[in-house]
Structure 1
Amino acid sequence: MRRRRLMTLLLATPVLSLGLARLLPGSRAAEGFPFQLSESEWRQRLGDKAYAVLREEDTEPPGSSPLLEEKRTGTYACAGCGQDLFRSETKYDSGTGWPSFYDVIDGAVGTREDRSLFLGTRTEVHCSRCGGHLGHVFEDGPPPTGLRYCINGLALEFRPQTGAAG
């Protein structure tokens, strides 16, 4: 009987810990980001789908973002707090189904280890101002950085450059 309990505990602990932070409302707020709102304010500001992505670390379906087709010159900002994150010059078609960038605006994003999948460790990307989940960064991008910031379109707001041709 002891052996069965021990085996159950050893097998269940990693499974239960995976993604547990996603189930805790406001877990990001405890990290002390400069821009903070209550859960109800976030819900009102973002709507259901963007809230799920930015505040609950959900992922939008691949190919669903209108930003995949955005070709104008401008800036991609956080849909949660408005902080500028990416410049259009760094956007490229990665073929993944999500808007992808090879570089960020200095200081605009933070990263942390993400072990929510059984596939190993990924690097989660979030807005440095509000902590909103943006997506993940991978080391298979183009030069000059070799990085691929794979970002949920629902986490972004595109701001065209004034007077930019497109």
Structure 2
Amino acid sequence: MNSLRCLTSTRYLVNKLLLSTPAQSSNLILPTLLSGKSYQKFYFSREFSKKVGKMAFSQDELKKKLTKEQYRVTQEKGTEAPFTGEYDKHYKPGEYKCVVCEAPLFKSDDKFDAGCGWPAFSATKDKTAVAEHDDSTLGMKRTEVTCSKCQAHLGHVFNDGPKPTGIRYCINSASLKFKNSK
């Protein structure tokens, strides 16, 4: 409970600081210790603070709403087995949303086949769609990607994607919900 209170207080202070900062796109790197876990960085911007509203669900609500696999991936930072996800070879026109809060995350125009076994995107729907955090689990240095609105774990981002971005968002299908274009 103390770590949750600390995180809530920290986010409140960050939002206060960002709203009083004159720079339109300044980023703030905030070190936070939670539940005895190692050092993490949270990236916020004034634009993020204004556009994205907070959303929280209880564990009971999430367990009712999500499948066991969706819960494991989004809430426990799990990873689905490669080449098993619903959206790995899915190329219909539309947008991919967060399975937890339905926030728009990625456009089908930015999806590509990276051959890695998970859906891959070269860009997010907009700058505020996802948040990035340092991740040093499993003895690797990676960048975790979470939903900016509800903090659900989505996957990781790498710098080996196609041009022009050079970015590959490697996302678990279990964290996504697809909406067809009309």
**1:83-112 alpha-carbon deviations (Å, 9 max, x no partner):** 000000000000000000000011100000
Among 110, 117, 122, the alignment partner of 1:102 is 122
Aligned to 2:145: 125
- Which of 128, 132, 154 pairs up with 1:111? 132
Q: 1:79 to 1:20 in 2, by over 3 A?
A: farther
Could you tell me whether the CA contact under 8 Å between 2:89 and 2:113 is conserved in 1? no
CA deviation vs aligned residue, 1:85-141 (integer Å, no higher than 9, x gap): 00000000000000000000111000000011213x100000000000000000000
Q: Mark the CA change 1:53 to 1:159 in structure 2 (over 3 Å): closer, same or farther.
A: same
Please report the TM-score for the alignment, with normalisation by the length of structure 2: 0.70
Cα separation, 2, equivalents of 1:37 and 1:60: 22
- Among 33, 48, 65, the alignment partner of 2:68 is 48
In 1, Cα distance between the equivalents of 2:68 and 2:124?
26
Equivalent of residue 66 in structure 1, options 67, 86, 90? 86
Which AA in structure 1 matches 2:167?
L
Structure number with the bigger relative contact order (C-alpha 8 A, sep ≥ 6) is 1
What does residue 87 of structure 1 align with?
107
Point out 4+ residue stretches in structure 1 off by more than 4 angstroms.
none
**Which one has the largest radius of gyration?**
1
CA distance in 1, matches of 2:168, 2:120: 6
**What's 1:34 paired with?**
54
SS of structure 2 residue aligned to 1:44: helix
TM, length-normalised to structure 1? 0.77
Alignment-mate amino acid for residue 147 of structure 1: I
Which structure features the higher share of strand residues? 2
Gaps of 5+ in 1: 1-18, 22-32
Q: 2:172 — aligned with what?
A: 152
Q: State the identity %.
A: 41
Displacement of 1:68 in angstroms is 1.6
What's the secondary structure of 1:49's corresponding residue?
helix
Aligned to 2:21: none
Distance in 2 (CA, whole Å) between partners of 1:129 and 1:147 is: 22
Gaps of at least 5 residues in structure 2 are: 1-34, 38-52
CA distance in 1, matches of 2:164, 2:80: 28
